[in-house]
Structure 1
Amino acid sequence: MDEPGTVVIVSRQGSDWTWPLHVLAERYAYRVVLAHSFSEALTTMATIHVDLAIAEDHAGEDAGLTFLTGLRVSHPDITRIYVTSNSDCISEPALSQAAIYQFLLKPVDASQLGLLVERALETRELARRHRILSREFKISGDGLIFGERKNAAFRAESQRFEKLVYVSAKMAELCDLARQAAKTELPILIEGETGTGKELLARAIHYNSMRRASPLLVQNCGGVPDELLQSELFGHKRGSFTGAISDRLGLFRAADGGTVFLDEISEVSPSFQVSLLRFLQEGEVKPLGSDRVTHCNVRIIVASNRRLKNLVARGEFRQDLYFRLKGFEFEVPSLRERPEDIGPLAEFFAAKHADAIGRKILGITANTIEKLSSGEFPGNVRELENEIRRMVALAKDGEYLTTRNMSATLLAASPRRSSEAVAFLPEGVTLKDQVESLEKQIVSRALVRNHWNQSRTANELGLSRVGLANKIKRYSLNEHGQQHQ
């Protein structure tokens, strides 16, 4: 696997997972998230990409097994392991219904668990690759039947940063930087149009940081009065204002050691900007109606659908606060700026919503992907997801999603001309020369598309790093002087 897997453990009260956690995280380098309830585990799975779930029960209980059975429907791609203290309580039909990979008896041997998780994730990866190959052959065959795959270009396998799905170079570059930013303690500013996935990026950064074991709390600042926003973030004392019938902790203190994500930060008032600036400088929290000041260690991630730099120039946002917030600054591109991501996103959403309603969708025809890619999608990824969700609802069980399931607006959209659609033109006289010229163009374009990231280019082309390096040398390609057709 390209990256270590993510394991969620749903522990029961009184259970000690210290050593198994250490083995999984240190010896195998897995990212391990410990959840203390089933609801907490589901929230985690909705937030980050999870590969394997472990649920435990005590003697005479089967809530953990019931939870894993539910995961088979809601999250079928997650591998499931069951832990119990009493083998007599295990029912073979129940285990079969949950489709668990394996069960273990307590006390859990950490080394055995580590080996089991490693084998389970290896099996999962092999199954994933088998599905990809099967789908490619199946779609190629069905394309001939439907006549909808004429001149269809090969599309590279999508990449993921938690719940962000992409193939475009713009998103790959952004997510690579976000992975690096996650390892720091600097504030993060995320800008971009509504629906581009700013909150998903914020969550991905938190769960790839050293703070991932602590809370991530979210507050939308748009349209919230100052007094209420101060109360939500800094807390208040009982009686500090009308309606304050009890003390409130506030998000900053509740998230101590973790992350607070503030959406629509551009909408806050000048007076609140002062309060936020002081918190960023000193870490001070003073609840409304209190004379006591406490200190919190919280990382701030903010998002805005308006450019803060422009607001600063117009005097609508404090310049000192802007500079404090942009430790790292990201601009998530709109969907129309990265149409190559529409296909992978559509397939991801089709699988997601088909699983949610228990419907079997075989895939999306090439003609449908082409039509979707012609859409402007002013609502960005959120609008695309709503369209796919509607198409899944209209499709019958065991069908492909086709243009007949599509909304009239998208059907009427004019085809989009992509810079990647420029034809490959062979050069030379002999067949050998023409084949080599085509190979040179393919390698050259892939390198440019991936900003000369050779690992990503080799993965996209199905080559080893050494194989790609040999082709670069053979065709005298270089980052600054290559001739790109």
Structure 2
Amino acid sequence: MDREYTILIVARDEGAWTELSEVMADRSGYRVLVATTETEAQQLTRDVHIDLVVADEGNKDFDGCEFLSNLRVSHPDIVRVLVLAKSGNRQSKGVKEASVYQYVRKPLDVEQIALIVKRGLESRELARRHRLISREFKMSDESIAYHPPHDLRLIHEGQQFEKLVYASEKMATICEMAKTSAKTDLPILIQGETGTGKELLARAIHYNSSRKSSPLLMQNCGGMNDDLLQSELFGHKRGAFTGAISDRLGLFRAADGGTVFLDEISEVSPSFQVSLLRFLQEGEVKPLGSDRTIHSNVRIIAASNRPLSQLVATREFRRDLYYRLKGIEFEVPPLRDRVADISALAEFFAAKHSESMGRKILGLSANLLEKLSHYDFPGNVRELENEIRRLVALTGDGEYLTTRHLSPNIQDAPRRGASNRDRGFVPEGKTLKDQVESLERHLVEQTLKRYRWNQSKAAEELGLSRVGLSNKIRRYRLDEENAS
């Protein structure tokens, strides 16, 4: 199995599904998540990359058929399995509405459901491969009756870590480290500009940890005064302050055994930093208005769009708290520093929003991808998604996404690449051959400098093999120390 598949079981009675969960986890190596409410199940489908859902038919409080029917629209790639009651006439209606892969009746036969899950995942993988092969031949098939612009190209799917989509080496390194970090209980600090995907990374870490069956609770610390933040995180007793009309549990106690994500941690006051430091050291929660301390086992993942090390240097952030938070530290690079991710993200967002809008988008043009790659995206991935969503909304059904409706600021972005970097360079030599060799030497040297003489990355950008680049380095007598 190339990767770990994720199975979501949606049932009110979690205990009845324990044996099936253990069989699929232990025997097949699946990651099994259980949701007991529709709200919880919907949140999991938003946060986690789910491959297959097994949903109980439910009762008046929860309709499994309706949940799977909605899932068919919002997440069409998820395989859907419906579990029906022992008897009843709902089978044909439920299967038709939800367009399920298979249905079974109670009592649960663990071996039967495990086999259905296995076959469902196999069918899903075959359908995915068929879709990729079909895309490779689509252009030649359509060219018989229709001649699209010459600049269209097909894009291969990027990699995913839950809902994080990437193709760059930088993000691949971060995601591999995050998968390893998820297996520990160390606090995690995620830094990076707004819109780079810090929250998605935090969610992915939680759902790949041993705490995945316990709550993940989120709190944005920006713009909150100390009393309110203290109440949100540590809880309070009735009458602790004006407006405290009832007891409040607080996120640290509500997430016991799970994870709390603290966004914009750089914005908390010095006095609150002391309270947070004590919790990280002792794991003790003391609600406002209470004399009793309670222990809570919570993993903290903190995020900041301002470098905490600089805030420590200016004494705006406590040094001891900084080192407590950065048990493991991640720096998510801005989109302008991982241009390789733009194509994969653009295709992912185009598919996502075309499905949600009920549009059929045939593909993305190479000119569009080139324009996107030249833009710096100060709003990062969030800005890219908004742009693609806008393009999907403005593009006609059955058409390609092109530069036609592109925002002016992206349309007018100056071109990256050699033309800007090498402006003013004049090739040396009298003959054409000499001048071409001079230009080639310059381009190879500048690319090596840009990647700090990482020959693998330089060769990839230049379209050379590693051996081919080494030959040119020797031919032009390039030296890392003496390169001009």
Match of 2:456 among 448, 451, 455: 448
Instruction: Specify the SS of the correspondent of 2:16.
Output: coil
Report matched runs for 1:405-484 at 5 Å. 405-417=405-417, 448-449=456-457
The alignment of Structure 1 onto Structure 2 pairs a total of residues equal to 438
Q: Any conservation in 1 of the 2:84–2:91 contact (CA below 8 Å)?
A: no
Compute the TM-score of the two structures, normalised by the length of structure 1: 0.84
The residue number in structure 2 matching 1:85 is: 85
Post-superposition CA distance 1:103-139 (Å, at most 9, x none):
1111121122112111111111111111112123225
CA shift in 2, pair 1:483/1:113, >3 Å: farther
Instruction: Specify the SS of the correspondent of 1:145.
Output: coil
CA shift in 2, pair 1:450/1:50, >3 Å: farther
CA shift in 2, pair 1:167/1:231, >3 Å: same
Larger radius of gyration: 2
Query: 1:448 is aligned with what amino acid?
Result: S
Instruction: Specify the SS of the correspondent of 1:362.
Output: strand
Post-superposition CA distance 1:410-444 (Å, at most 9, x none):
1112222289x99xxxxxxxxxxxxxxxxxxxxxx
Does residue 1:348 correspond to 2:348, yes or no?
A: yes
Q: Any conservation in 2 of the 1:169–1:451 contact (CA below 8 Å)?
A: no
The residue number in structure 2 matching 1:6 is: 6
Does residue 1:242 correspond to 2:242, yes or no?
A: yes
Range that drifts further, 231-240 or 391-400: 391-400
The residue number in structure 2 matching 1:189 is: 189
The residue number in structure 2 matching 1:159 is: 159
CA shift in 2, pair 1:235/1:390, >3 Å: same
Q: Any conservation in 2 of the 1:60–1:89 contact (CA below 8 Å)?
A: no
CA shift in 2, pair 1:278/1:118, >3 Å: same
Does residue 1:16 correspond to 2:5, yes or no?
A: no
The residue number in structure 1 matching 2:321 is: 321
Report matched runs for 1:46-445 at 5 Å. 46-57=46-57, 63-86=63-86, 88-92=88-92, 94-139=94-139, 145-149=147-151, 157-417=157-417
The residue number in structure 2 matching 1:45 is: 45
CA shift in 2, pair 1:396/1:206, >3 Å: same
CA shift in 2, pair 1:57/1:141, >3 Å: closer
Q: Any conservation in 1 of the 2:24–2:32 contact (CA below 8 Å)?
A: yes
The residue number in structure 2 matching 1:459 is: none
Shift of residue 157 of structure 1? 3.6
1-structure distance, mates of 2:268, 2:309: 15
2-structure distance, mates of 1:222, 1:148: 48
Percent of paired sites with the same residue: 60
CA shift in 2, pair 1:387/1:292, >3 Å: same
Range that drifts further, 137-146 or 266-275: 137-146
Post-superposition CA distance 1:131-179 (Å, at most 9, x none):
11212322567699334438x7x86541000000000000000000000
Range that drifts further, 271-280 or 64-73: 64-73
- Structure 2, unpaired ranges of 5+: 423-452, 479-484
CA shift in 2, pair 1:83/1:2, >3 Å: same
Query: 1:343 is aligned with what amino acid?
Result: S
Post-superposition CA distance 1:40-68 (Å, at most 9, x none):
11100000111111111258999211211
Instruction: Specify the SS of the correspondent of 2:384.
Output: helix
Instruction: Specify the SS of the correspondent of 2:196.
Output: coil
Instruction: Specify the SS of the correspondent of 2:50.
Output: coil
Compute the TM-score of the two structures, normalised by the length of structure 2: 0.84
**4+ residue runs over 6 A deviation:** 59-62, 140-144, 475-478, 481-485
The residue number in structure 1 matching 2:429 is: none
Instruction: Specify the SS of the correspondent of 2:248.
Output: coil
Q: Any conservation in 1 of the 2:156–2:344 contact (CA below 8 Å)?
A: no
Q: Any conservation in 2 of the 1:59–1:89 contact (CA below 8 Å)?
A: no
2-structure distance, mates of 1:77, 1:31: 18
Instruction: Specify the SS of the correspondent of 2:292.
Output: coil
1-structure distance, mates of 2:60, 2:194: 49
CA RMSD of aligned residues (A): 3.0
The residue number in structure 2 matching 1:435 is: none
Query: 2:387 is aligned with what amino acid?
Result: E
1-structure distance, mates of 2:66, 2:364: 33
Query: 1:67 is aligned with what amino acid?
Result: F
Query: 1:149 is aligned with what amino acid?
Result: D
2-structure distance, mates of 1:191, 1:104: 47
Query: 2:148 is aligned with what amino acid?
Result: F
Instruction: Specify the SS of the correspondent of 1:4.
Output: coil
2-structure distance, mates of 1:331, 1:164: 15
